[in-house]
Structure 1
């Protein structure tokens, strides 16, 4: 009987990759993009095992697992929690929610086989219980006959699993041998190509080295010519700047001396005016002094005459 697995993951890429692994193990795969959709599918379809992503928007993997394992109608369905994280805390949360184990994404084929082999018995028991409820013949069997049938079915499943593993190993070995045979010519071609590339690189490096020397010499000449031109431009610029500075300084001096010249002219004019006034006063004083001296001389002459007159 083919097991039907429900793969629950909000990532389309993750569903595709995990779904391929499950189909390679011979499982029929149903897919759901959320915890809510997974619960709807479980309620309407016969699901034998659930692979539940731990981190999803809305109802997360832990909550969805707890909802499945706590429901009497779905508690028999084994749930495997799939996660990109690892840790004892996460494993403890998964166990408390009722998950039978934790798979790290992307899962290894060996780990997936181990999980599937561990749930094979759990998958058969619900099927038998369903047969007991729906078939009168199974209900009339005694306990020993029922256990014998269960053991026989388990033995058949073990044989089928062993045969499947052997078949897978043979196919994998054949695929590896075929791949190695196909790779050998490619490796030889790649080795030959690598040799040719190295030779071309050496030739190109030799040519490039010669070209680089020529280019460096031309560049050196260009740099020297540019430096000479820059020196000439710098000299001309320095002369132009000095001339401009001299003109600016002369203008600045003229602007600064103009008020001083005006003040000096005013002071000179005032000084000349005062000197002219002083000269006029001096002339007047000299005139007065001369007049007084003449008067004194006249008076002195008169006095002398009078004295001579009276004395004689």
Structure 2
């Protein structure tokens, strides 16, 4: 059994299944609930290393549940990743402002998930006091804000790349179809 435990909170059975499989590939043991209310009960007896939570759920949405988890001394240190099909940079910034450790698209790509889990694991490892002091001395006061801006820009560029690739695939498919039709006409003549 893995030392890594993740909790998925999502009202979509298919989303829970897809994320569970992706996390298991990364070596995680996974628990899942279909609502924030069910998750609160589960969290009374378990402490996962990370929580993946859907943004839009009936009764209690992801942001409200995140606020409840942060107000509870038992769960406030657990990183919460908001999972959403909303890929706007403003949404990601809003989620981070509310305390989310990260925002992950639905469904997540394996590389994104691996990078996120690595980052969370690194953040969970407490650095030495001298390392913290060195970073604090060298870091500008607005470093976190700059990091968030860069992450938002990277996300926007990734979305633009995905749109460009989709358009290119459509153009190639259309060109192939036109070429095929010309070839059929030429052979029929």
Give the Cα–Cα distance (whole angstroms) in 2 for the partners of residues 74 and 32 of structure 1.
16
- Superposition pairs of residues 137-176 of structure 1, within 5 angstroms: none
Distance 1:120 1:83 in 2: 22
Match of 1:3 in 2: 4
Structure 2 residue 126 is matched with structure 1 residue 120: no
Please give the residue correspondences for 1:2-41 in structure 2 after superposition, counting only pairs within 5 Å: 2-41=3-42
> How far apart, CA to CA, are the structure 1 residues paired with 2:125 and 2:99?
19
Residue number in structure 2 paired with 1:55: 56
Q: Which residue of 1 aligns with 2:68?
A: 67
In structure 1, what is the Cα distance between the partners aligned to 2:124 and 2:102? Answer: 15
Q: Which has the higher helix share?
A: 1
Distance 1:52 1:16 in 2: 13
* 2:46 corresponding residue in structure 1: 45
Which runs of structure 2 are paired with 1:133-282 in the superposition (5 Å)? none
* Bigger share in strand: 2
Q: Which deviations, in whole Å up to 9, do the C-alpha atoms of 1:42-73 show, x marking residues without a partner?
A: 22112110000011001001111121123222
- How big is each residue's C-alpha offset from its partner over 1:157-193, in whole Å with a ceiling of 9 and x where there is no partner? xxxxxxxxxxxxxxxxxxxxxxxxxxxxxxxxxxxxx
CA drift at 1:124: 4.6
Q: Partners in 1 of 2:47 and 2:115 — Cα distance?
A: 22
TM-score (norm 1): 0.39
Q: Aligned residue for 1:305?
A: none
Q: 1:88, CA displacement in angstroms?
A: 2.3
Distance apart, 1:35 and its partner CA? 1.1
Aligned residue for 1:44, secondary structure, equals: coil
* Alignment gaps of 5+ in structure 1: 126-142, 145-312
Counterpart of 1:110 in structure 2 is 111
* Number of residue pairs matched by the alignment: 130
Higher RCO, 1 vs 2 (CA within 8 Å, ≥6 residues apart) = 2
Cα contact 1:63–1:97 (8 A) shared by 2: no
Partners of 1:42 and 1:121 in 2: CA distance: 23
Query: Deviation above 6 Å: which 4+ runs of structure 1?
Result: none
Q: Aligned partners of 1:15, 1:109: CA distance in 2, in Å?
A: 15
2: CA distance, partners of 1:87 / 1:70: 27
Structure 2 gaps of 5+ residues are: 130-189
